[in-house]
């Protein structure tokens, strides 16, 4: 600790010299809110294999128990996103109470319109009106679940698309999509938001009905003020400037939320910040440049081979680091150098913030609120993962993968 307070004092002095209000930065770091996904605590895999993890959460109560540990250690994860039917229960009011007893609230409700046999040719874009009715009924059920659990977000991702040119009409699928979403939008109470997530491919491999931010944005504009765009950081074509999309949507008041994760190739769903921490920093820089106050910050990952709770804590810490770096950007210097056309001078203002070791600042922000300065060390010292491994064992049917895998 002695070493921490010396290192922290040095950093705080340096930041103050750079005109940064360190106490304000710590306050904003303590007010950060990152929602974790229930499905990040259970077994998950690829089409090749799902490796069962000792102690992996098997139902929504175990997922909430693990999420409560992540919140207890980080102090910034008081809500959990649910996926329906993966987390379906008979008594949603009781689940809300149970979550509250763990210090948690129910976050975004995610309809699942990609795992039912009926959805082979799509859900709301399906040529068959019976299937579209089914999809609408499921989303209306999710609006009902949100009402009972106190959730104010329906987080919608559509796997809808086609695999071969000519398989279906783009124009007719678009019309079906708009009609169906209008019905769901109309059923939402005031204040509830529909976040429309886009993804440029997979599981469809010719076209995806909501492939990019522009399509999602146009749909959100068409539906109304309670519809916004959800940016999943793993859903873009290689080379896409995600922070520019963030800036544009913020400017339009249409950025509803994020699904943070990391990827090198496709939708790899790896630990946020583990592949391109500079991009994550730039996303937060744009978030703090625009007024991102009511933008829902959510993690969306699946931990196929690594310890799931430690992976979630690491992800939250990486997101906190990106946020801290963005909060110490010398914005006055940046604006002055941008105005002066000082290209590299302006660039270095951002790089200086990114290359600042903010870990002592984050540790102090935790200490100030009675938390352990290093949540990973605290998790390992707690023995929680070993405890649940003993109690829960290894799932015999982890699911996923090719049939015989």
| 267-326: contacts with ligand LRH (CB under 6 A) | 267, 300
Give whichever of 8 and 260 is closer to ligand LRH, judged by the CB atom.
260
Q: How many residues bind ligand LRH (CB under 6 A)?
A: 9
> Considering CB distances under 5 to 8 angstroms, the limit depending on partner class, which of ligand LRH, Mn ion, none binds residue 72?
none
Edge-to-edge strands, sheet with 105-111: 36-37, 79-84, 105-111, 153-157, 193-197, 227-232, 255-260, 296-299
Q: For residues 187 and 16, what is the distance between their CA atoms, to the nearest angstrom?
A: 50
Helices 60-74 and 375-382 pack at an angle, to 10 degrees, of: 130
* Three-state SS at 298: strand
Instruction: Scan for tokens 């809300």, then name that residue.
Output: 96
The distance of closest approach from Cβ of residue 301 to Mn ion in the complex, given in angstroms and rounded to an integer, is: 9
- Residue 259 as a binder of Mn ion (CB under 5 A): the answer is yes
The distance of closest approach from Cβ of residue 52 to ligand LRH in the complex, given in angstroms and rounded to an integer, is: 19
| 242-261: contacts with ligand LRH (CB under 6 A) | 259
Q: How many residues bind Mn ion (CB under 5 A)?
A: 3
- Residue 267 as a binder of Mn ion (CB under 5 A): the answer is no
The distance of closest approach from Cβ of residue 110 to ligand LRH in the complex, given in angstroms and rounded to an integer, is: 5
- Which residue is at the shortest CB distance from Mn ion? 259
- Which residue is at the shortest CB distance from ligand LRH? 157
- Dihedrals φ, ψ of 126, to 5°? -65, 140
| 34-93: contacts with ligand LRH (CB under 6 A) | 39
> Considering CB distances under 5 to 8 angstroms, the limit depending on partner class, which of ligand LRH, Mn ion, none binds residue 87?
none
The distance of closest approach from Cβ of residue 361 to ligand LRH in the complex, given in angstroms and rounded to an integer, is: 31
Q: For residues 252 and 198, what is the distance between their CA atoms, to the nearest angstrom?
A: 17
Q: For Mn ion, which stretch binds (CB under 5 A), given 165-173, 224-232, 243-251, 325-333?
A: 224-232
Q: Is the dihedral of CA 8, 10, 13, 15 positive or negative?
A: negative
- Residue 199 as a binder of ligand LRH (CB under 6 A): the answer is yes
> Considering CB distances under 5 to 8 angstroms, the limit depending on partner class, which of ligand LRH, Mn ion, none binds residue 284?
none
Per-residue binding letters, 291-310, with Mn ion (x by CB under 5 A) = ---------x----------
Beta bridge partners of 161: 208
Dihedral, 54, 380, 75, 153 alpha carbons, nearest 10? -20
> Considering CB distances under 5 to 8 angstroms, the limit depending on partner class, which of ligand LRH, Mn ion, none binds residue 228?
none
Give whichever of 269 and 374 is closer to ligand LRH, judged by the CB atom.
269
Q: For residues 75 and 31, what is the distance between their CA atoms, to the nearest angstrom?
A: 9
> Considering CB distances under 5 to 8 angstroms, the limit depending on partner class, which of Mn ion, ligand LRH, none binds residue 374?
none
> Considering CB distances under 5 to 8 angstroms, the limit depending on partner class, which of ligand LRH, Mn ion, none binds residue 267?
ligand LRH
- Of the candidates 220, 227, 176, 229, the one whose C-alpha atom is nearest the C-alpha of residue 198 is 229
* Three-state SS at 178: helix
- The gap from C-alpha 137 to its chain's centroid, in whole angstroms, comes to 25
The distance of closest approach from Cβ of residue 261 to Mn ion in the complex, given in angstroms and rounded to an integer, is: 7
Give whichever of 199 and 254 is closer to ligand LRH, judged by the CB atom.
199
Cβ–Cβ under 8 Å, residues 383 and 55: no
- Of the candidates 354, 289, 367, the one whose C-alpha atom is nearest the C-alpha of residue 324 is 354
Helices marked H in 253-358 — which ranges?
A: 277-289, 308-327, 331-339, 343-354
Q: Which two tokens stand for residue 14?
A: 């340096």
The distance of closest approach from Cβ of residue 25 to ligand LRH in the complex, given in angstroms and rounded to an integer, is: 31
Beta strands in 96-145 (DSSP E): 105-111
Give whichever of 37 and 360 is closer to ligand LRH, judged by the CB atom.
37
Name the site residues for Mn ion (rule: CB under 5 A).
232, 259, 300
Name the site residues for ligand LRH (rule: CB under 6 A).
39, 110, 157, 197, 199, 232, 259, 267, 300
């Amino acid at each position: 600790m002695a070493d921490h307070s010396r290192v922290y004092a040095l950093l705080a002095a340096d930041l103050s010299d750079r005109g940064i209000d360190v106490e304000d930065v710590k306050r904003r770091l303590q007010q950060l809110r990152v929602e974790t996904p229930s499905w990040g605590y259970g077994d998950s895999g690829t089409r090749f294999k799902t490796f069962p993890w000792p102690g992996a959460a098997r139902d929504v109560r175990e997922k909430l128990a693990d999420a409560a540990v992540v919140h207890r250690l980080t102090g910034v994860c008081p809500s959990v996103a649910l996926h329906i039917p993966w987390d379906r229960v008979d008594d949603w009011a009781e689940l809300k109470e149970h979550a509250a007893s763990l210090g948690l609230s129910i976050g975004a409700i995610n309809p699942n319109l990609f795992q039912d046999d009926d959805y082979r040719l799509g859900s709301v874009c399906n040529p068959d009106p019976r299937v579209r009715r089914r999809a609408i009924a499921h989303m209306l059920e999710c609006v009902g679940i949100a009402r009972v659990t106190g959730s104010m977000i329906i987080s919608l991702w559509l796997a809808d698309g086609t695999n071969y040119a000519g398989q279906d009409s783009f124009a007719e699928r678009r019309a079906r999509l708009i009609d169906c979403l209008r019905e769901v939008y109309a059923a939402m109470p005031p204040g509830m938001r529909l976040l429309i997530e886009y993804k440029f491919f997979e599981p469809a491999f010719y076209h995806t009905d909501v492939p990019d931010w522009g399509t999602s944005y146009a749909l959100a504009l068409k539906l109304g003020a309670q519809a916004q765009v959800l940016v999943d950081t793993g859903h873009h074509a290689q080379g896409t400037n995600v922070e520019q999309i963030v800036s544009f949507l913020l400017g339009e008041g249409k950025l509803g939320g994020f699904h943070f994760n990391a990827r090198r190739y496709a939708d790899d769903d790896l630990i946020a910040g583990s592949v391109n921490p500079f991009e994550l920093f730039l996303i937060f820089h744009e978030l703090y440049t625009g007024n991102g106050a009511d933008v829902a910050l959510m993690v969306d990952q699946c931990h196929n081979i690594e310890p799931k709770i430690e992976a979630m804590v690491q992800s939250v810490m990486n997101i906190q680091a990106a946020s801290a770096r963005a909060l110490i950007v010398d914005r006055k210097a940046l604006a002055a150098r941008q105005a002066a056309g000082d290209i590299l001078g302006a660039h270095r203002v951002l790089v200086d913030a990114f290359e600042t070791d903010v870990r002592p600042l984050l540790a102090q922000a935790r200490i100030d609120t009675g938390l352990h300065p290093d949540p990973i060390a605290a998790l390992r010292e707690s023995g929680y993962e070993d405890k649940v491994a003993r109690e829960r064992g290894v799932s015999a049917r982890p699911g996923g993968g090719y049939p015989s895998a």
